[in-house]
């Protein structure tokens, strides 16, 4: 799909470029908030209210106040400059929606794996997914109010990550903080692509 071809004001498809980035992680980690914080357009959300049917299926421990869940994706857009856009796709967090990830990951430049240190194990599936598919990713530790701050080196050891994968502390409610995460990811993905043999 050529996202750039439909962008208003694009002078030509050849000179226009849309970079696709995934925002992944466990249930209630802040993916929807992250997309909404940085998107220049009104983000598309596919959220539904949690119901009694989710009892025993969705683990809300640590996020008891959460009342909705993403069932397909979140979508937002950022203009970097004329003819260059970042398209952000937030993935659903629960394992019953993981079949969506294969579709969403097609053509992705890279991914942000959001982590909550109070429930660090929830981001393991996302880390495994991107490692197995060779998709560049950064780990973004969402600094929730009241949560202990952890040294990125300790988070790296806990997740068993190589030294090359960036770990960034972030408040997904703050635009500049999210911008730093996305900048880190794009630079990491581009450097990795440049270093790969043709």
Domains along the sequence of the chain with CATH: 3-195 (3.40.50.300)
CA separation for the pair 25, 41 (Å, rounded): 23
pTM exceeds 0.75 for this model: yes
DSSP code for 67: -
Nearest in space to 91 (alpha carbons), one of 105, 108, 78: 105
Pairing of strands 44-49, 108-115: unpaired
pLDDT for 69 equals 52
Within 8 A by CB and 6+ apart from 49, the residues are 67, 68
pLDDT for 8 equals 53
pLDDT for 46 equals 62
CA separation for the pair 10, 106 (Å, rounded): 23
pLDDT for 55 equals 47
CA separation for the pair 170, 178 (Å, rounded): 7
Contact between residue 123 and residue 113 where contact means Cβ atoms under 8 Å apart: yes
CA separation for the pair 36, 41 (Å, rounded): 9
pLDDT for 2 equals 47
pLDDT for 132 equals 95
pLDDT for 5 equals 47
Spans in the chain with pLDDT lower than 70: 1-14, 45-72, 93-98, 147, 196-198
Model pLDDT for residues 124-175, shown as the tens digit of each residue: 999 999 999 999 999 999 987 776 778 899 999 999 999 999 999 999 999 9
Q: The tokens 């990951």 sit on which residue? A: 105
């Amino acid at each position: 799909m050529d996202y750039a071809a439909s962008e208003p004001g694009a002078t030509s498809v050849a000179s226009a470029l849309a970079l696709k980035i995934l925002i992944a992680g466990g249930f209630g980690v802040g993916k929807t908030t992250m997309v909404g914080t940085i998107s220049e357009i009104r983000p598309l959300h596919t959220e539904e209210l949690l119901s009694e049917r989710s009892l025993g299926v969705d683990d809300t421990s640590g996020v008891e106040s959460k009342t909705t869940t993403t069932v397909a994706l979140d979508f937002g857009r950022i203009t970097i400059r004329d003819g260059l856009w970042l398209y952000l796709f937030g993935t659903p967090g629960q394992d019953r929606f993981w079949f969506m990830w294969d579709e969403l990951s097609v053509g992705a430049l890279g991914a942000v794996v959001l982590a909550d240190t109070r429930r660090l194990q929830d981001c393991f599936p996302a880390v495994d997914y991107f490692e197995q598919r060779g998709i560049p990713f950064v780990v973004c530790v969402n600094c929730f109010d009241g949560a202990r701050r952890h040294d990125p080196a300790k988070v790296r050891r806990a997740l068993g990550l190589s030294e090359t994968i960036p770990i960034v502390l972030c408040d997904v409610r703050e635009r500049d903080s999210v911008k730093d995460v996305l900048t880190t990811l794009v630079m990491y993905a581009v450097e990795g692509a440049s270093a790969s043999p043709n």
